[in-house]
Amino acid sequence: MDVAFVLYPRMTALDLVGPYEVLGHQPEVTSHFVAASREPVTTDAGLVVVPTATFAELDRADVIVVPGGGGWAEVLEEGVVAAWLRVAHPTATWTASVCSGSTLLAQADVLDGRPATTHWALRDELAARGAVVATDRVVVDGSVVTGAGVSAGIDLALTLVGLIWGDERARFTQLLIEYDPEPPYRAGSPESAPAELVALARGVFAGR
């Protein structure tokens, strides 16, 4: 099973690495890191990832995972990822996004009229691009699976494992990675965080 992880400059590392750690260790999976070129890609926090294929070299995969990150607006403007998705999505069994990666699916017309989720700060942006925005952490609609912000990529990938190989495999994978979150603070959503922190976070996203 070929799984294509999309890379682009200033993507968020956890959006990629979370799903990769869950999916990449499945024995049936061959992972591909696909980008516009084979030049190393630098994430928004400075991690460097080397692509294994270009969009021209890999035009199909069984599963596609599109991360989000600080560079999503620039990638939308360039349109290269969306152009590849228009080719690769129709033949994929599953197409997935994490965080602002959903905007790239929307640009490729994958989310037109579909329920989908994204980072809380980008819900209006995603709705403006034709999706029916949900606030759930993971949304499954047919062959399209979307995850909310950053850390939800792990939840999304475990959901995919359950859909592809069954709940028992997903539970076993969850146990292996000891995914049993107990965050030290109750501030992981705009509903639970103090209003001043929500305002500060919105300002950070507005400046990206």
Query: Residue 107 is part of a domain; what is its CATH number?
Result: 3.40.50.880
Q: Backbone phi, then psi, for 9, in 5-degree steps? A: -60, 140
Other residues' Cβ atoms within 10 Å of the Cβ of residue 84: 24
Q: For the chain, percent helix, then strand, then coil, each to nearest 5? A: 40, 20, 40
Place 149 in a pLDDT band, splitting at 50, 70 and 90.
very high
Of 7, 29, 92, 99, catalytic: 99
Other residues' Cβ atoms within 10 Å of the Cβ of residue 204: 10
pLDDT of residue 208: 65
Tens digit of pLDDT for each residue in 16-47?
999 999 999 999 999 999 999 999 999 999 99
Clarify whether 144 is annotated catalytic.
no
Distance, in Å, from the CA atom of 38 to the CA atom of 61, rounded to the nearest integer, reads: 18
Domain-located, residue 190: no
Max alpha carbon distance in the chain (Å)? 47
Domain-located, residue 208: no
Domain that holds residue 147: 2-183
Domain-located, residue 202: no
Domain-located, residue 193: no
Distance, in Å, from the CA atom of 169 to the CA atom of 186, rounded to the nearest integer, reads: 30
Q: Among candidates 152, 83, 158, which has minimal Cα distance to 119? A: 152
Count structural domains, the chain.
1
Tens digit of pLDDT for each residue in 151-200?
999 999 999 999 999 999 999 999 999 999 999 999 999 999 999 999 99
